[in-house]
Amino acid sequence: MRPLAWYQLREEIEEFLYFEADLLDQRRFKEWLDLLAEDLVYFMPMRRNVKFGQHAERENTKQGEGISWFDEDKWTLGKRVEQVLTGVHYAEEPLSRVTHMVSNVRLLDVRPSAEDAQEVTVGCRFLVYQNRVEYENHTFIGRRTDELRRVGSSWQIVRREIILEQNVLLAKNLSIFF
């Protein structure tokens, strides 16, 4: 039996993740940036088809090495937001319609304790639906692991790892945020 504080914390973290998703879906990109820590790592590996037994070592490209879909910092994400806001970033002009579904939220690690949580590692599943112009539809499904840090009464994202369940990317662009 977990202490009540653990369930309260999970509720708080879920609420934070849903709030964050809502900011993106409402296109409040600058406010979304405020939820990102200055030392943010935003990482989405590419996934490879590897032989049984090699998944742990070789399935995903690695943070800090070579090429991934995203392996970047807050400055770069800020640039992405700035680009959308120019109004002439044609891959997002007109803006896509996007819904982020977040589920299977699990607290994977709480530091130092649920009663006094300062840092949390939270896992979830995402289903992101993007509809663009008239007929373009993309569905991105996968897993996310977020490192969150308490800042005052709220949280900031310090590290986000996005595991998209695709090998060859089946969308023409990754012009949205995950």
Partner 1 sequence: MTTPLPIDQMIDLRRGTISREIFVSPEFYREELDRLFTRAWLFVGHESLIPKPGDFYVSRMGEESVILCRDAQGAVHVFLNSCRHRGMKVCRYEQGNTSLFVCPYHSWSYTTDGKLQGVPLYRALYDGTLNREEWSLIEVPKLALYKGTVWASWDPAAPDFLDYLGGAIDHLDQVLDCRDGRPGGSEVIGVHKWVFPSNWKFAAENFLGDTYHNPSHRSVDMIGIGPNAQRGLRRDNEYNKGQHAWVGHPAGHGMHSVLMPPTMEYEPSYAQYPAVDEYFRHCFYERKRRLGEKARLLPFTGNIFPNASYHGRQPRGICVWHPHSPTETEGWRFFLVDADAPAEVKDVLRRFYMRYSGPAGMTEQDDMENWLYATAASKGTIARRHPFNYQMSMGAYRTDDPIRGDVSLQITEQTPRNYYRVYASYLNGAPWSELLGRPQVRTAAE
Pick the closer one to partner 1 by CB: 5 or 171: 171
Q: Which one of 11, 31, 34, 82 is in contact with partner 1 (CB under 8 A)?
A: 82
- Cα-based distances in Å from 86 to 60, 77, 81, 97, 173: 34, 14, 9, 18, 18
CB of 71 to partner 1, least distance (A): 6
| Contact flag: residue 56 with partner 1 (CB under 8 A) | no
CA-to-CA distance for 83 and 175, rounded, in angstroms?
10
> At residue 5, what are phi and psi to the nearest 5 degrees?
-60, -30
* DSSP one-letter string for 35-97: TEEEEEEEEE--B----TT-IIIIIB--TTSS--SEEE-HHHHHHHHHHHTTS--GGGSSPPE
| Contact flag: residue 139 with partner 1 (CB under 8 A) | no
| Contact flag: residue 91 with partner 1 (CB under 8 A) | yes
Query: Pairing between strand 154-164 and 36-44?
Result: parallel
Number of residues this chain uses to bind partner 1 (CB under 8 A): 38
| Contact flag: residue 51 with partner 1 (CB under 8 A) | yes
| Contact flag: residue 171 with partner 1 (CB under 8 A) | yes
| Contact flag: residue 68 with partner 1 (CB under 8 A) | yes
Pick the closer one to partner 1 by CB: 110 or 162: 162
Residues 92-121 within binding reach of partner 1 (CB under 8 A): 92
| Contact flag: residue 67 with partner 1 (CB under 8 A) | yes
- For the beta carbon of residue 48, count every other beta carbon within 10 angstroms: 12
Which residues sit at the interface with partner 1, rule CB under 8 A? 44, 46, 48-51, 54, 61, 64, 66-72, 76, 79-80, 82-83, 86, 88-92, 133, 136, 167-175
